[in-house]
Amino acid sequence: MTSKPAEKRQVVRFAFYKLDSAWRRLPAERQASSKLEFGQVIESFAGRLLLRPYGLVGIRGDCDFLLWQVAENLDSLVALQTALNRTDLGAYLALPYSYLAMTRRSIYEFPEDLGQPSRLVIRPSEARYLFVYPFIKTRAWYALPKVERQTMMDEHVRVGRKYPSIRLNTTYSYGLDDQEFIVAFEGDDPAEFLDLVMELRESQASSYTLRDTPTFTCVQMSLWDMLDTLGGAGSAQAISRRPTRADGYTPAATLADLPPGASRRVYAGAEAVALFNVRGTVHAIANRCTHARASLSEGTVDADRCAVTCPWHEGVFSLETGRVLGGPPVLPLAVYRVKLEGDTILIAPPSVEAREPTVAPHS
């Protein structure tokens, strides 16, 4: 008898960082360089994991930002944190909260979920806020017959469906971390989330909650905007350290940074640009999807079509022309000029001239 192949899951980490105030007393030049280094390290992992930055400055006192990380394996999470620890900014960061989890299918059945995207894959939305907390059920919950638990979960879901703008991501931590679940709600209105949680407190399943704190209210923002909430020299100053040459081109990366099949987010001036190496040809497009501003450097590349699919709502763009090939986007993307000088990839803003693909030399 052939065994059913195991379903592919994702590992998920919610890492909350706190900056030592001593960093804010450093010279502005060092603040700018440390922000740039930290941001570049994060960008260098674009092809290895999905990462969303969120700010908490002004919201909580014990952490300043969240990096929501989604990867195919634990090794990628370890590699990212190791690289961040080696940065200048990393020396000033503490990690007061870090939660590890994994995607899996629920043991409960909800007919409304039929035809919906698989819960095995995390698909962050464009929502402004993320509300995160660890969750543990009482032992008495697990002693109940499954049919009783299903009935209570049905009530729980009915309450949740009264708030359709709030989107839930549940990941599982059994045996991996101290909590049993991590719940992450996405939404645009904190008041609506507050009302949802208050109503859920009155559900029968709520009486079987052992712990659901601490709770984090996080604001989604770009990587550089998030770094700017830390204070010190602005990211624009850090980004401007990448010199733009007289011919308008900016050194953005090297071929070693962008092997065939890889993607990477870089900057031309203060504009985010997504680089792709598709079968040895380097392409550069504006990094933000024209639909909901998702980071396209984290999208999926179709080498046969020379196209990228947005990781949020599956809009499809041509890497050669920037045209929309499918999905909800309406507006095309800017396509940047690319040229190689030795191993260095240089990019420049679009011009009226026709752009020829830049083919990397064979080694």
What residues contact residue 184 under an 8 Å CB cut-off, 6+ apart? 14, 68, 130, 131, 132, 168, 169, 170, 171
Domain that holds residue 337: 242-359
Band the pLDDT of 222: cuts 50, 70, 90.
confident
What is the C-alpha to C-alpha distance for residues 101 and 170, in angstroms, rounded to an integer?
9
Q: Is 40 domain-assigned?
A: yes
Instruction: Give which of 358, 362, 357 is closest to 341, Cα–Cα.
Output: 358
Q: Is 207 domain-assigned?
A: yes
Shared-domain flag, residues 19 and 124: yes
Q: Is 339 domain-assigned?
A: yes
Q: Report whether 84 contacts 17 (CB < 8 A).
A: no
Q: Which pLDDT does position 236 carry in this prediction?
A: 55
What residues contact residue 314 under an 8 Å CB cut-off, 6+ apart? 326, 327
Encoding tokens for residue 169? 């991501």
Q: Mean per-residue pLDDT for 1-10?
A: 70
What residues contact residue 31 under an 8 Å CB cut-off, 6+ apart? 23, 24, 232, 233
Longest CA–CA span in the chain (Å) reads 72
Band the pLDDT of 153: cuts 50, 70, 90.
very high
Shared-domain flag, residues 283 and 347: yes
| Identity of the residue numbered 140 | A
What is the count of structural domains for the chain?
Answer: 2
Q: Is 266 domain-assigned?
A: yes
Among 25-29, 62-66, 112-116, 190-194, the least confident range: 112-116
Shared-domain flag, residues 208 and 287: no
What is the C-alpha to C-alpha distance for residues 49 and 72, in angstroms, rounded to an integer?
7
pLDDT of 191 over the 90 cut: yes
Q: Which residue would you say has higher pLDDT here, 222 or 117? A: 222
Shared-domain flag, residues 42 and 185: yes
Peptide bond into 214 cis (omega under 30): yes
* CB half-sphere exposure, 8, CA atoms < 13 A: 5
Shared-domain flag, residues 208 and 266: no
R_g over Cα of the chain: 22
What is the C-alpha to C-alpha distance for residues 83 and 78, in angstroms, rounded to an integer?
9
pLDDT tens for each residue of 85-127: 999 999 999 999 999 999 998 888 877 655 555 678 888 887 8
Phi-psi category of residue 48: left, alpha or beta, with phi > 0 → left and psi -120 to 50 → alpha: alpha
Q: Is 75 domain-assigned?
A: yes
Q: Report whether 185 contacts 193 (CB < 8 A).
A: yes
Query: Could you write out the DSSP letters of every residue in 233-289?
Result: S-HHHHHTTSPPPTTS-EEEEETTTS-TT-EEEEEETTEEEEEEEETTEEEEEESB-
Instruction: Single out the residue in 225, 253, 268 at which a domain terminates.
Output: 225
Q: Is 166 domain-assigned?
A: yes
Band the pLDDT of 300: cuts 50, 70, 90.
very high
Shared-domain flag, residues 61 and 204: yes
What is the C-alpha to C-alpha distance for residues 174 and 188, in angstroms, rounded to an integer?
30
Q: Report whether 351 contacts 338 (CB < 8 A).
A: no
Instruction: Single out the residue in 169, 199, 225 at which a domain terminates.
Output: 225
Q: Which pLDDT does position 244 carry in this prediction?
A: 73
Average per-residue pLDDT for the chain: 89
Shared-domain flag, residues 198 and 250: no
Q: Which pLDDT does position 362 carry in this prediction?
A: 56
Band the pLDDT of 328: cuts 50, 70, 90.
very high
Q: Is 2 domain-assigned?
A: no
Q: Which pLDDT does position 117 carry in this prediction?
A: 55
Among 117-126, 186-195, 269-278, 312-321, the least confident range: 117-126
Instruction: Give which of 246, 240, 248, 276 is closest to 261, Cα–Cα.
Output: 276
Q: Which pLDDT does position 354 carry in this prediction?
A: 38
Instruction: Give which of 255, 265, 264, 275 is closest to 337, Cα–Cα.
Output: 275
- The residue to which tokens 């699919």 are assigned: 309
Shared-domain flag, residues 303 and 178: no
Q: What is the CATH number of the domain that holds 256?
A: 2.102.10.10
Q: Is 174 domain-assigned?
A: yes
What is the C-alpha to C-alpha distance for residues 54 and 268, in angstroms, rounded to an integer?
23
Shared-domain flag, residues 155 and 266: no
As beta bridge partners, residue 324 has 317
Shared-domain flag, residues 216 and 251: no
Q: What is the CATH number of the domain that holds 111?
A: 3.30.70.3420
Instruction: Give which of 112, 209, 130 is closest to 168, Cα–Cα.
Output: 130
Encoding tokens for residue 31? 């603040």
Q: Note every long-range contact of 196-203, with CB atoms under 8 Å and residues 24 or more positions apart, other chains counting.
A: 196/159, 196/160, 196/162, 196/163, 196/166, 199/159, 199/162, 200/156, 200/159, 200/160, 203/152, 203/155, 203/156, 203/159
What is the C-alpha to C-alpha distance for residues 254 and 344, in angstroms, rounded to an integer?
4
Strands (E), 44-117: 49-55, 65-71, 93-102
Shared-domain flag, residues 94 and 197: yes
pLDDT of 360 over the 90 cut: no
Q: Which residue would you say has higher pLDDT here, 335 or 354? A: 335
pLDDT tens for each residue of 56-69: 999 999 999 999 99
Q: Mean per-residue pLDDT for 247-271?
A: 84
Instruction: Single out the residue in 197, 225, 253 at which a domain terminates.
Output: 225
Q: Mean per-residue pLDDT for 246-257?
A: 86
Shared-domain flag, residues 215 and 250: no
